[in-house]
Structure 1
Amino acid sequence: MNELRELLDEYWILKDRDKEKYYKIRDSISKFRSFISDKLGYQVILTSDLIKLEKLPGKAETWMGIYAFDDKLEYAFLCLLLMFLEDKEKEEQFLLSQLTEFIQGTFPGDEKIEWTLYSHRRHLIKVLKFAIDIGFIKVNDGEEERFYTDQSTEVLYENTGASKYFMRNFSGNILKYSTLEDLERDEWLDMDTDRGRIRRNRVYRRIIMSPAVYRHGEDDQDYLYIKNYRNMIQADLEKYLKVDLHVHRNGTFLVLDEEKRYKNSFPENRAISDIVLQVNKIIVNKVRNKELSRNAEDIIIVHKTVFDNIIEEVKEKYSIGWSKEYREMKLEKLSKEVINYMKNFSMLRVDEDNNEIIILPLVGKIVGDYPKDFNNKEKEND
């Protein structure tokens, strides 16, 4: 087990869930503490119950957030749940009705929270499921799923005490912040103005936490740092994480060992991941055949209808090996799923104003196809 990779991959390590992993990582921290402190600028939170690497991104990305959430109200409910737990002791129990009353009475927005509304109940259930999954509350009795249909449902929960370590600590007063840039600058408020260290931490974080680091113009200082110090960066990444650094003119990527993947890495063991590999293959072929052209930054810009046509071509060529769900999926829905997935892995951006898809260099890095005898085997199975 690579203990540092475990800390990067997991939100935190809870002792009551995996005691062996907790102690193994705790005993190994000294081996990589200098790397996470000097190169990443991260801190390790170590308590008798958990270990957490305080992971902050080098740059905010559109795909960042809680994967299970798809509405701002869910983030608001999560914050209120954390507030609710602040006054609770470890192992203290509480009822769902106590939480719903607290949220109704404390919610700061103009929108009134009504538990008679199915949408509000659904959003809260998603937050509770997330809190249970990540480990800062437990269910002692009852099922929150019944809250979907019955607002009077009671569930008995237990506070694990981990919630106090969920949010990061800010140096300044976040109530005075009005932009994302204010939040990003907050971290450096109590640090000396060593621009070299700030850039080093930012670059290492971007390389490790993002699917790709792209060059933005000739004067991109972060990218110049990567090019100038690539040997040092590669040596660090190989020593501590056993990964390879690939630096190209317009993009930098981490290439992982096939047997040692992170949780959210590409490709992954999902049907949509395989489909995107095939989409990438078709796009690369079209570039080679001069059907699509790249600009100086290896970016391809196409109209949304052109991209939809690519998805249709991929479906016609490869769907014989897809699951029934994707074989029968309408083109519009399939295209939307592919776009969202590729956005989350920094493979494309969407220009809503011009109805264009901006295809990024990572697409050309990883492609996939069936074995040459795949179609013959499929016919034999039919």
Structure 2
Amino acid sequence: MEAGQLFDEKAKQGLELLLHHYWILRAKQPEWYQLIREREKVLRRYISDKFGLRLIVHQYFIKLEKIPVEPEGWMGIQDFQEQMDYAIFCCALSFLEGKAVEEQFLLSELCQDLQGDYPGELPLDWTLYTHRKSLIRVMKVLLDFQLIRVVDGDIARFDHNEEQEVLYEATVYSRYFMRTYPDDFSAYRHWEELLESDWKMNQEDERRKRVYRKLFFSPGLQRGEQQDLDFHYIRNFRNRLSEDIEEHSDYTLHIYKNTAFLSTAEPRQYHKVFPTNQAVSDLILQLSWYMHQQPERFQPNESGQVLLTKSEFERMVEELRQQFQQGWSKAFREKSVSAVCADMLGEMKYWMMAEADEAFIRIRPLAGVLAGQYPKDFQEGTANE
């Protein structure tokens, strides 16, 4: 059998690259592009069979259209801060649709077009600082995705001057950023219809494809109700899943009573893994350890979640501060308890370790998988620094 037909180490590397990058640009990553092209057939077959996803191979790029089972807040564009950012971004994509490859345009031309297309209740007003900052964030993302390039000028100056000009150029990638849909996009009335249209084309082995997407596209998978069919599938086919995942990737499947997730022993530079190098990860590990030490106080429900009021969560963090703050970073030592709680909760939501509403905070099972504490002599070490 030819090398291109085998799922070998090159194919594993190709799958890894596709899973962790929006797209592979031939001009920017020629070696990655060539590697995937050499293993295109076996990758396309595996991705279609296990994930039910499209692998697009273009002369300028390669793209795996990654469609989640359930959209999560952390799946958005991390540089965006407001709904306005997304609205302007979509309007900018529409503007670029009308531009030829390498056609140049001025920032003022784009600004005028955005004002005409913007769907918000209040119109865009470039004399407003918040609107200009939103556009700056959008232009940065367009540049990061290689949808445009700067010919002359600096968008940062638009921060203080709405008359600032920048000359841009549309790239060949700008018309391929949005994924294609089976029906006219305007026919969809709700985002859920977009997901439903995808599953209509993936009815064969739908359960398996749902499970693979959840495991590979999310930090972890939590058992929902008693009859959670996705989690039930993982429990029933755990051996087959583990063997297949380890054979085709560098990940290991871990399954607990209420959660399942993938881990890697050797994270790559472009991986997002927990714990991170940020100090907030240390606090979350300490929180997990602290809860493990008091099982009577923190009893999980049937789904493995620990339900806390916001005041209970703050009290727990205050207790952690009193016990460990000598080892905390200077920034966290100086913050108020409520500010520390906000940072921790935001990070835990990102990693699907917690969810919150106006009344309660739910610590999810994934938060209890890893725990950590300082060594017993850490206070001596900090005192000697």
Shift of 1:262: 5.5
2-structure distance, mates of 1:259, 1:300: 30
Q: Any idea what the Cα deviations from partners look like across 1:75-124, whole Å, max 9, x if unmatched?
A: 01110111111122222221111110110122233211110011110101
Q: How does 1:1-382 map to 2 (within 5 A)?
A: 2-189=13-200, 191=201, 193-194=203-204, 197-260=205-268, 263-287=271-295, 290-352=296-358, 355-381=359-385
> Measured at CA, do residues 45 and 138 of structure 1 come closer, stay the same or move farther in structure 2, by a change above 3 Å?
same
Between the two proteins, what is the percent identity of the paired residues? 38
Q: Any idea what the Cα deviations from partners look like across 1:179-199, whole Å, max 9, x if unmatched?
A: 33222101133x2743xx222
1-structure distance, mates of 2:106, 2:332: 41
Shift of 1:71: 0.8
1-structure distance, mates of 2:377, 2:110: 58
Q: TM-score, normalised by structure 1?
A: 0.92
Three-state SS of the structure 2 residue aligned to 1:57 is coil
RMSD of the TM alignment (CA)?
A: 1.8
1-structure distance, mates of 2:377, 2:88: 52
> Measured at CA, do residues 335 and 366 of structure 1 come closer, stay the same or move farther in structure 2, by a change above 3 Å?
same
Q: Which amino acid aligns with 2:139?
A: L
Unaligned 5+ residue runs, structure 2? 1-9
Q: Is the 8 A contact 1:59 1:202 kept in 2?
A: no
> Measured at CA, do residues 87 and 179 of structure 1 come closer, stay the same or move farther in structure 2, by a change above 3 Å?
closer
2-structure distance, mates of 1:375, 1:308: 24
Q: Which amino acid aligns with 2:281?
A: S
Q: Which amino acid aligns with 2:18?
A: L
Q: Is the 8 A contact 2:267 2:273 kept in 1?
A: no
Q: TM-score, normalised by structure 2?
A: 0.92
Q: Any idea what the Cα deviations from partners look like across 1:225-283, whole Å, max 9, x if unmatched?
A: 11122222112211122111111221111122144476322112222222222222222
1-structure distance, mates of 2:242, 2:330: 42
Three-state SS of the structure 2 residue aligned to 1:34 is helix
Shift of 1:58: 1.8
Q: Any idea what the Cα deviations from partners look like across 1:51-81, whole Å, max 9, x if unmatched?
A: 1111111222233211111211110111011
Unaligned 5+ residue runs, structure 1? none
Shift of 1:339: 0.7
Shift of 1:316: 2.7
> Measured at CA, do residues 316 and 18 of structure 1 come closer, stay the same or move farther in structure 2, by a change above 3 Å?
farther
Most deviating of 231-240 and 254-263: 254-263
Three-state SS of the structure 2 residue aligned to 1:68 is coil
Q: Which amino acid aligns with 2:211?
A: V
Most deviating of 176-185 and 8-17: 176-185
Q: Any idea what the Cα deviations from partners look like across 1:321-342, whole Å, max 9, x if unmatched?
A: 3332222122212111111110
2-structure distance, mates of 1:61, 1:181: 13
2-structure distance, mates of 1:262, 1:220: 32
Q: How many pairs were matched up?
A: 374
Three-state SS of the structure 2 residue aligned to 1:66 is coil
1-structure distance, mates of 2:301, 2:269: 32
Q: Is the 8 A contact 1:58 1:204 kept in 2?
A: no
Three-state SS of the structure 1 residue aligned to 2:297 is coil
Shift of 1:365: 0.2
Q: Is the 8 A contact 2:279 2:328 kept in 1?
A: yes
1-structure distance, mates of 2:251, 2:264: 5
Q: Which contiguous aligned blocks of 4+ residues in structure 1 show a shift greater than 4 angstroms?
A: none
Q: Is the 8 A contact 2:207 2:230 kept in 1?
A: yes
